[in-house]
Amino acid sequence: MSTGKKGEPIIEVEGIDTRFGDNVIHENLDLTVRRGEVIGIVGGSGTGKSVLLRTILGLKKPDAGRIRVFGIDFSTLSEDERRLNEQRWGVLFQDGALFSALTVAENVQVPYREHLHLSQELMDELAAVKIAMVGLKPEAGSLYPSELSGGMRKRAGLARALALDPEILFLDEPTAGLDPIGAAAFDELINDLKETLGLTVFLVTHDLDTLYATCDRIAVLAEKHVILIGTIEDMLRSSHPWIHEYFHGPRARAAFAGK
Ligand SMILES: Nc1ncnc2c1ncn2[C@@H]1O[C@H](COP(=O)(O)OP(=O)(O)OP(=O)(O)O)[C@@H](O)[C@H]1O
At 127-183, the pLDDT tens digits run 999 999 999 999 999 999 999 988 889 899 999 999 999 999 999 998 888 888 888
Residue-level pLDDT at 259: 60
CB-ligand 1 contact for 25 (6 Å cutoff): yes
Res. 17: pLDDT tops 90: yes
Estimate to the nearest angstrom the gap between the alpha carbon of 130 and the chain centroid.
17
Residue 140 has a pLDDT of: 95
Ligand 1 atom nearest to 21, measured from its CA: 4
94 lines ligand 1 (CB under 6 A): no
Whether 50 is in the pocket of ligand 1, judged by its Cβ within 6 Å, is yes
pLDDT digits (tens, 9 = 90+) for 102-118: 999 999 999 999 888 89
SS (HEC) of 142-164 = HCCHHHCCHHHHHHHHHHHHCCC
Whether 138 lines ligand 1, by a CB cut-off of 6 Å, is no
Q: Select the more confidently predicted residue: 100 or 177.
A: 100
pLDDT at 96: 66
What pLDDT, on the 0 to 100 scale, is given for residue 234?
A: 96
Q: Give the residue whose CA is nearest to atom 1 of ligand 1.
A: 20
Atom of ligand 1 nearest to the CA of 51: 18
Per-residue pLDDT averaged across 225-233, rounded? Answer: 96
Residue nearest to atom 26 of ligand 1 (CA): 45
Looking at residue 243, its pLDDT comes to: 95
Q: Based on C-alpha coordinates, what's the Rg of the chain? A: 18
Does ligand 1 come within 6 angstroms of the Cβ of 20? Answer: yes
List of residues 6+ apart from 253 with CB closer than 8 A: none
Mean pLDDT calculated for residue range 45-60: 95
Q: Examine the pLDDT at 190 and tell me if it is beyond 60.
A: yes
Q: Is 254 exposed, middle or buried (0-12, 13-18, 19+ CB in 10 A)?
A: exposed
Which pLDDT score, from 0 to 100, does residue 250 have? 74
Give the closest residue (by CA) to ligand 1 atom 9.
Answer: 51
* pLDDT given at position 162: 94
- Confirm if 227 and 64 have CB atoms less than 8 A apart: no
**Best of 19, 50, 54, 203 to mutate for ligand 1, by most ligand atoms within 8 A of CB?**
50
For residues 106 and 96, what is the distance between their CA atoms, to the nearest angstrom? 14
